[in-house]
Amino acid sequence: VAAFAAPAPTAPLKVLKDVFGFENFRGLQEDVISALMAGEDALVLMPTGGGKSLCYQIPALCREGLGIVVSPLIALMDDQVAALKQLGVKAAALHSELELHERDQLWDDLRNRRLDLLYISPERLLSPGTLDFLRQHRPSLIAIDEAHCVSAWGHEFRPEYRALSCLSDAFPGVPRIALTATADPRTRDDIVASLAMPQARVFTASFHRPNLVLEARPKLSESRQLLEALERYRGEGAAIVYCGSRRRTERLAATLREKGQTALAFHAGLSALEKRAVLHRFRSGEPMTVVATIAFGMGIDRPDVRLVVHVDMPASPEAYYQQIGRAGRDGETAHTLLLYGGEDMARARYWLEQSQAPESEKRVMQGRLENMIALSETTGCRTEAILECFGEKLPENCGHCDNCRQPVPTFDGRVAAQKVLSAVYRTGERFGAVVVTNVLRGKKNEMIERHALDKLSVFGIGADHGENWWRTVIRQLIARGALKMHGDYGALGLDRTTARPLLQGQMPLPLREDVHSALRSKGFRAK
């Protein structure tokens, strides 16, 4: 077909107004769309709610041919298709959960070129029949949504995404656009390499979300801290509580219900029907809390999520930021609370150490975990610290994170550190934080007496401070790498290299006084 015979392409701005009803492009949208209209490949990095969808929907409508959108989740596809249909766009989703008659209809529409946009799962797209068909029909563009799923180092890796590297050969000359809300440079490089799109123009929006209020607290009493946060911040909106395990989501949701909260658990172990029921209620807009694993994520676009709590530490700043990014999509203030503990940190390190992953991957994951640990312990502006992980520099402190609102008092922790490290050493590096704390405070119990720990010179050397105070010190020594977990039972040991200078008291050691002050300011007394 001669090029001059093609109808004049519709202008993107006209489609924006006529189809979507918006007056102006936002942020980088116009530049991205221009690149695709010119036939270039693009990688788009924008935070959740940044307006990624229009970046491919509009050029797909403006360019000749069918726009293909690869998406990892059926629920996500169905949502987008429903929204597009309401606007009068001819869109459909091809995935494994279609009824037979729906599938027949869809193929009929495809053959007769009645569709503008086709949402499709990666495995479906790459199945031979579909691939051959679509190749013959020369699509207008291929969008790869949630493109971080291609990265094995990412937190939402999907092996099916790997195979998408063949798209450049299968569809020569068809512009491709990869989109993600995951920002770190490593994932970005991985996407470009894995999708074989080295020529892609990279569009990076600011990840700063000024309406998110970041807060992190040492974990003292999980359910009490959680309830307090829910009461204070959730209002008539929704809250998401992220947990590290399926079992914990069930238990915590039950605890919340006992306290009169509307709370549902969500994790990958639920049946499709159960999952859909939770999503349905969550989307209905009723005030509620979903207690979930990271399986509750992509495609969660309720605008009025007022609070996101992590009761277990996320594996990386990227995962953390993407999860808290689900709060406040309506632009109103939303709160986030990270509850962190020393044992969690030590355990996360330990399991990573034990993991069978290739060395190179392990090192990347370890680096991220360390960043996450540093982020939770930071005494500086949290917003600044997390954006720095993505290579973005805030011109000044955010002014509203916990550390900005209430600067963290620190104290000279040298003597305290010497006492803790000696206690760990003298007790044979066989015990966890609870026993070490009891030894420091000189608290006798059956365990202490059975191991004759009360006969040691370190017994009671820390009687001048309470349990929570010592736990703070232990946690920070773990965070700094002086203490580490060894063995499956949570026993703490010394990291010789890091611990020695601390034991000798050679260098200054400012420690956070957080547990103390946090509790006192709320009228609680540390035991």
- Give the one entry of Zn ion, ligand ADP, none that residue 383 binds, where binding means its C-beta sits below a cut-off of 5 to 8 angstroms depending on kind: Zn ion
Give the residue with the Cβ less far from Zn ion, 346 or 385.
385
97-100: list long-range contacts, CB under 8 Å, 24+ apart: 97/272
Question: DSSP letter string over 350-363?
Answer: HHHHH--S-HHHHH
Residue 274 burial (C-beta neighbours within 10 Å; 0-12, 13-18, 19+): middle
Reported in sequence order, the residue ranges of 354-460 that DSSP labels E, i.e. its strands, are 410-412
Nearer to ligand ADP, 50 or 493 (CB): 50
Closer to ligand ADP by Cβ: residue 22 or 425: 22
Q: Which CB, 213 or 346, lies closer to Zn ion?
A: 213
Q: Closer CB to Zn ion, residue 53 or residue 206?
A: 206
With CB under 5 to 8 Å by kind, the binding choice for 46 among Zn ion, ligand ADP, none is ligand ADP
Distance between start and end Cα atoms, the chain: 81
Task: Select the binding partner of residue 288 from ligand ADP, Zn ion, none (C-beta < 5 to 8 A, by kind).
Answer: none
Please tell me what DSSP assigns to residue 200: P
- Closest separation between CB of residue 292 and ligand ADP, Å? 18
Q: How far is CA 142 from CA 14, 74, 176, 295, in A?
A: 22, 18, 5, 26
398: partner contacted, choices ligand ADP, Zn ion, none (Cβ within 5-8 A by kind) = Zn ion
User: Could you tell me the smallest distance in angstroms from the CB atom of residue 386 to Zn ion?
Assistant: 10
In whole angstroms, give the CA distance from residue 413 to residue 289.
Answer: 39
Q: Which is nearer to ligand ADP, 26 or 114 (CB)?
A: 26
Positions in 343-382 near Zn ion (CB under 5 A): 381
Binding to Zn ion, residues 429-468 (CB under 5 A): none
Q: How far is the CB of 53 from ligand ADP (least distance, A)?
A: 3
421 touches 502 (CB < 8 A):
yes
Token pair listed for 96? 């494994």
- If one asks whether residue 401 binds Zn ion (CB under 5 A), the answer comes out as yes
**Least distance from C-beta 52 to ligand ADP, angstroms?**
3
CA distances from 490 to 142, 204, 210, 247, 487 (A): 49, 42, 39, 20, 7
Name the phi and psi angles at 69, rounded to 5: -120, 115
**In this structure, how many other beta carbons lie within 10 angstroms of the beta carbon of residue 96?**
9
- Residue 478 in 3-state DSSP? helix
Q: Which option in ligand ADP, Zn ion, none does residue 140 bind, with CB closer than 5 to 8 A by kind?
A: none
Q: How far is the CB of 79 from ligand ADP (least distance, A)?
A: 10
Residues 187 and 44 sit within 8 Å (Cβ to Cβ):
no
CB of 466 vs ligand ADP, minimal distance in Å:
45
Name which of 49 and 235 has its Cβ closer to ligand ADP: 49
Among 253, 398, 440, 458, binds Zn ion (CB under 5 A): 398
49 touches which of Zn ion, ligand ADP, none (CB within 5 to 8 A by kind)?
A: ligand ADP
In the complex, the smallest distance separating the C-beta of residue 28 from ligand ADP, rounded to whole angstroms, is 11
Partner whose footprint covers residue 307, from Zn ion, ligand ADP, none (CB < 5 to 8 Å by kind): none
Q: Check: CB of residue 247 under 8 Å from CB of residue 292.
A: no
To 5 degrees, how large is the angle CA 469–CA 369–CA 391?
A: 110
State the residues that interact with ligand ADP by CB under 6 A.
Answer: 22, 25-26, 29, 46, 48-54
Nearer to ligand ADP, 225 or 322 (CB): 322
Which of 383, 422, 472, 476 is close enough to bind Zn ion by CB under 5 A?
383
Given the complex with Zn ion, which of 208 and 486 has the nearer CB atom?
208
Q: Please state, in angstroms and rounded to a whole number, the distance separating the CA atoms of residues 268 and 266.
A: 7
Report in angstroms how near the CB of residue 96 gets to ligand ADP at its nearest.
Answer: 23
- Among Zn ion, ligand ADP, none, partner that 401 touches (CB below 5 to 8 angstroms by kind): Zn ion
The contacts of residue 205 (CB under 8 Å, 6+ apart) are 27, 28, 44, 45, 46, 47, 50
- The contact set with Zn ion (CB under 5 A) reads 381, 383, 397-398, 401, 404
